[in-house]
Amino acid sequence: MSYKKLEIWQLAKEIVLETHVMTLHLPKFEMFEEGSQIRRSSKGTKSAIVEGYGRRRYKNDYVRFLIYAIASNDETRDHIENLYETKSLTDEKVYNSILNKVNLLGKKIYFFIESVEKQHKSPK
């Protein structure tokens, strides 16, 4: 199995792509401030899932990187909310689409962590 088959990775990838496109339409000053931050945090979520998967043999490492993924996802949520509340992002449909996916991903990662903790076969 590959990390690309993980539902959480697939959703994280959607968020990265949608976020990237959204930032291309921000005011210029935001492209290098909040736009840069949200691109990095969304990519960080996806990358943490990949790195955790690469360490899946070791339960504690796997869980640690999944927790990093949740933290980066929370950061992405904060950035999208900042952009919308400051009216740098005015497209409500785009905002809701990204926000809904970020909220869903946070829940899915949380439940995935619970599953890893319960089913993992290697010792701590």
- 10-residue mean pLDDT series, the chain (124 residues): 95 98 95 94 98 95 98 98 97 98 98 93 52
Q: Which pLDDT score, from 0 to 100, does residue 75 have?
A: 98
pLDDT on residue 21: 97
Domains, the chain: 3-118 (1.20.1440.60)
**Which pLDDT belongs to residue 123?**
52
Cα separation, 110 vs 113, in Å, equals 5
Q: Which residues contact 22 (CB under 8 A, 6 or more apart)?
A: 89, 91, 94, 98
Contact 124, 59 (CB under 8 A): yes
* Phi–psi pair at 78, nearest 5 degrees: -60, -40
Question: Tokens representing 84?
Answer: 């919308």
Q: Which residue has the tokens 């000053």?
A: 29
